[in-house]
A and B are shown apart, each in its own frame.
Chain A
Amino acid sequence: SQQGEEDPQALSIQEGENATMNCSYKTSINNLQWYRQNSGRGLVHLILIRSNEREKHSGRLRVTLDTSKKSSSLLITASRAADTASYFCATDEDSNYQLIWGAGTKLIIKP
């Protein structure tokens, strides 16, 4: 299964700034999810947005979904050093049996 695309591949910002990362996919989806991975550790689920939703919030996270552009964005507001991690999107496009994963965005928060 082909990977979705995420950009940027890497992002370095100052603590306190907002971080935005994007995910694009190829075909229709039912759901899109975002996950965080601290270096070498297991992925942790952040948020799931359904195809009939346009925006979802969870604490400092804001996810948008634009099905017409086949893209989603993850915004982390007021970033902290602990937000340093890689962020992945995953969709159920084209399949009832597999998640399709993006390549990930590596986020570095500078103190």
Chain B
Amino acid sequence: EAQVTQNPRYLITVTGKKLTVTCSQNMNHEYMSWYRQDPGLGLRQIYYSMNVEVTDKGDVPEGYKVSRKEKRNFPLILESPSPNQTSLYFCASSLGVGTTEAFFGQGTRLTVV
């Protein structure tokens, strides 16, 4: 089954404690991206990757890091989380940008206290 798998689904952490949200896709997609979704602000892109070892900043990259060492995986790293990073996070993958459908993970609800 074609899918994007994010883990964990829910996470509560404390300010400053490094964390990683994993994302894996099984469709051999080249394009992957991370979004955060906040009430009233819609979907905002954090980082995206056009292919292995190629990553770029989206609209709200501050406080986040990503890596793309393998085609299937695109982890999101918060080196020192802060309360303003409390949000719902989504990973997505697609063959291209806008030319084909994007597949989304189920989301990670992160709370930073």
Contacts and interface: CB of A to CB of B under 8 A. Distances in A.
Interface stretch (B13-21, B62-70, B71-79, B93-101): B93-101
A29 B56 CA distance: 22
Contacts of B82: none
Contacts of A103: 42
Nearest to B91: A42
Nearest to B109: A40
Interface in A72-103: 88, 90-92, 95-99, 101-103
Grouping DSSP codes into helix (H, G, I), strand (E, B) and loop, the B interface class, with mixed when no group exceeds half, is strand
A1 B98 CA distance: 14
B106 A98 contact: no
A3 interface: yes
Nearest to A2: B59
Contacts of A102: 42
